[in-house]
């Protein structure tokens, strides 16, 4: 069973964050109609930035945010295009957009205008910096609004070095789940009240929320960024194994696990050492760095797999710091449908990450790859009740466009 079967979503979004919201809803069974302007979603050609192909025959850079959708092209500057959009919204449950509020107001698709005409419609919007304040109308992107102003890049850097360089969309994909949860809550509330709602999130706010621990602790004298020798718990840190490969330890109960960890790394002589075995005392004396140095030296004596096997056998949380090519071969990923092989229209077999939420009643969701811009325009016009002559008139007026595949 698809949990959102019977829900229709009109998706007027671009790039990554907001389109991915609709992808999630589509995988859960919603009928998602992506409405693009004649120039198309710029996300269709972002493969040029990602280093991936971007034709209609192979475009995983667009698939990752736009699978499980149908594609319609409307020109909302043309009256007939707006008429079609109105019919779509009249029959929709959710209107999802990343268009800026000022532009929506000019078109008459802001929440107040839509709510008056379609009171049951849930409107959802990804904003850059929020609905209020000096930047409420500013353009926001993952790297600027979420990762930079939201504090992620400045906080996660090892103090004194350059920030990490995250892959495109790292924050966008987190934001998509934030807004998807709000949409589902609004749909549930509508069942009780009969009224739709206006659901928003911003890239900036979501970035700050993901840094909750850092935001709270900084006001108590534990500011970020930190040097890795300054971490409060040395058992929550990254280390380089003897083969030069990275591991991450995450043992939150430092006091309990101190003797065990020291024994595992061959430093039994430090078991019970009161200089190091209590986290509060360790931080009060400023000896955190000494424990990090001890672990650096010890873990450099053996290859990564040795430490993974040893620590996991003794129930101490540790993991390899994997890169995408490692995950391609990770049996845990394949056992849990974390990655899915897809055959592109080009004939190439590729891999793509799947939606991490699973419903037992649904099983592993179907993945439908993208199609050409406007490829479903004519079929959707017919579904909306337009006769063949009316549809032809709309197409002739360029209010709607049925486009051909880009090869």
Per-residue pLDDT of the chain (407 residues; tens, 9 = 90+): 999 999 999 999 999 999 999 999 999 999 999 999 999 999 999 999 999 999 999 999 999 999 999 999 999 999 999 999 999 999 999 999 999 999 999 999 999 999 999 999 999 999 999 999 999 999 999 999 999 999 999 999 999 998 888 899 999 999 999 999 999 999 999 999 999 999 999 999 999 999 999 999 999 999 999 999 999 999 999 999 999 999 999 999 999 999 999 999 999 999 999 999 999 999 999 999 999 999 999 999 999 999 999 999 999 999 999 999 999 999 999 999 999 999 999 999 999 999 999 999 999 999 999 999 999 999 999 999 999 999 999 999 999 999 754 43
Determine the Cα–Cα distance for residues 294 and 75; give it in Å rounded to an integer: 64
Structure token pair of residue 236: 């929550």
Structure token pair of residue 177: 């789940």
Sequence-separated (6 or more) residues with CB below 8 Å from residue 60: 47, 52, 53, 342, 344, 350, 352
Q: Which helix (H) or strand (E) holds 337?
A: none
Does the residue 216 lie in any domain? no
Does the residue 21 lie in any domain? yes
In this structure, are 121 and 201 located in the same domain?
Answer: yes
In this structure, are 184 and 263 located in the same domain?
Answer: no
Give the domain-ending residue among 320, 339, 367: 320
In this structure, are 364 and 311 located in the same domain?
Answer: no
Ranges of H-type helices in 212-323 = 212-218, 254-264, 279-285, 288-299, 304-313
In this structure, are 17 and 111 located in the same domain?
Answer: yes
In this structure, are 83 and 32 located in the same domain?
Answer: yes
Per-residue confidence (pLDDT) for residue 166, from 0 to 100: 86
Does the residue 270 lie in any domain? yes
Q: What does DSSP say about strands 318-320 and 246-250: parallel, antiparallel, or unpaired?
A: antiparallel
CATH number for the domain that contains residue 251: 3.30.1540
In this structure, are 191 and 272 located in the same domain?
Answer: no
Per-residue confidence (pLDDT) for residue 407, from 0 to 100: 38
Determine the Cα–Cα distance for residues 134 and 124; give it in Å rounded to an integer: 22
Determine the Cα–Cα distance for residues 74 and 80; give it in Å rounded to an integer: 9
Does the residue 331 lie in any domain? no
Biggest CA pair distance of the chain: 87
Per-residue confidence (pLDDT) for residue 248, from 0 to 100: 98
Judge whether 376 counts as a catalytic residue.
no
Determine the Cα–Cα distance for residues 18 and 21; give it in Å rounded to an integer: 5
Q: Which domain holds residue 33?
A: 8-210+354-401
In this structure, are 201 and 311 located in the same domain?
Answer: no
Determine the Cα–Cα distance for residues 236 and 291; give it in Å rounded to an integer: 12
| Catalytic hit among 41, 63, 172, 376 | 172
Per-residue confidence (pLDDT) for residue 343, from 0 to 100: 97
Does the residue 171 lie in any domain? yes
Per-residue confidence (pLDDT) for residue 406, from 0 to 100: 43
CATH number for the domain that contains residue 61: 3.40.50.10540
In this structure, are 86 and 161 located in the same domain?
Answer: yes
Does the residue 12 lie in any domain? yes
In this structure, are 142 and 260 located in the same domain?
Answer: no
Domain tally for the chain? 2
Give the domain-ending residue among 320, 344, 376: 320
In this structure, are 23 and 172 located in the same domain?
Answer: yes
The model's pTM? 0.94
In this structure, are 297 and 379 located in the same domain?
Answer: no
Does the residue 232 lie in any domain? no
Determine the Cα–Cα distance for residues 184 and 168; give it in Å rounded to an integer: 26
Residues 175 and 203 sit within 8 Å (Cβ to Cβ): yes
In this structure, are 183 and 91 located in the same domain?
Answer: yes
Does the residue 344 lie in any domain? no
Determine the Cα–Cα distance for residues 60 and 56; give it in Å rounded to an integer: 10
Give the domain-ending residue among 320, 337, 365: 320
């Amino acid at each position: 069973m698809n949990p959102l079967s019977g829900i229709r979503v009109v998706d007027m979004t671009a790039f990554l964050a907001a389109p991915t919201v609709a992808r999630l809803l589509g995988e859960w069974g919603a009928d998602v109609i992506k409405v693009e302007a004649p120039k198309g979603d710029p996300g269709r050609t972002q493969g040029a930035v990602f280093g991936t192909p971007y034709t209609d025959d192979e475009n995983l850079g667009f698939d990752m945010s736009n699978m499980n959708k149908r594609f319609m092209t409307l020109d909302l500057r043309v009256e007939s295009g707006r008429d079609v959009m109105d019919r779509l919204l009249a029959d929709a449950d959710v209107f999802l957009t990343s268009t800026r509020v000022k532009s929506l107001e000019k078109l008459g698709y802001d929440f107040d205008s839509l709510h008056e005409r379609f009171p049951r419609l849930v409107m959802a919007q990804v904003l850059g910096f929020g609905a209020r304040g000096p930047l409420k109308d500013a353009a926001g992107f993952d790297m600027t609004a979420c990762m930079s102003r939201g504090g992620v890049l400045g906080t996660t850097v090892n103090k004194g070095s350059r920030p990490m360089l995250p892959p495109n969309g790292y924050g966008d994909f987190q934001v998509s789940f934030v807004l998807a949860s709000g949409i589902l809550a609004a749909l549930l509330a509508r069942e009780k009240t009969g009224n739709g709602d206006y659901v928003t999130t911003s890239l900036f706010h979501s970035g700050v929320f993901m840094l909750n621990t850092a935001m709270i602790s900084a006001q108590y004298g534990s500011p970020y960024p930190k040097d890795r020798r300054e971490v409060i718990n040395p058992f929550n840190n990254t280390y380089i194994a003897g083969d030069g490969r990275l591991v991450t330890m995450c043992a939150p109960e430092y006091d309990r696990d101190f003797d065990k960890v020291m024994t595992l790394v061959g430093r039994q002589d430090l078991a019970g050492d009161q200089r190091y075995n209590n986290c509060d005392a360790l931080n009060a004396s400023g000896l955190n760095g000494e424990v990090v140095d001890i672990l650096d030296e010890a873990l450099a004596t053996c290859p990564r797999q040795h430490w993974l096997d040893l620590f996991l056998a003794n129930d101490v949380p540790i993991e390899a710091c994997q890169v995408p090519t490692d995950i391609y071969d990770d049996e845990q990923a394949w056992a849990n449908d974390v990655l899915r092989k897809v055959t592109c229209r080009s004939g190439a077999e590729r891999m793509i990450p799947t939606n991490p939420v699973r419903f037992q009643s649904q099983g592993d969701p179907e993945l439908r790859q993208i199609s050409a811009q406007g490829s479903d325009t004519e079929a959707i016009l017919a579904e909306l009740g337009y006769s063949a002559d009316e549809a032809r008139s709309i197409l002739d007026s360029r209010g709607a466009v049925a486009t051909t595949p880009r090869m």
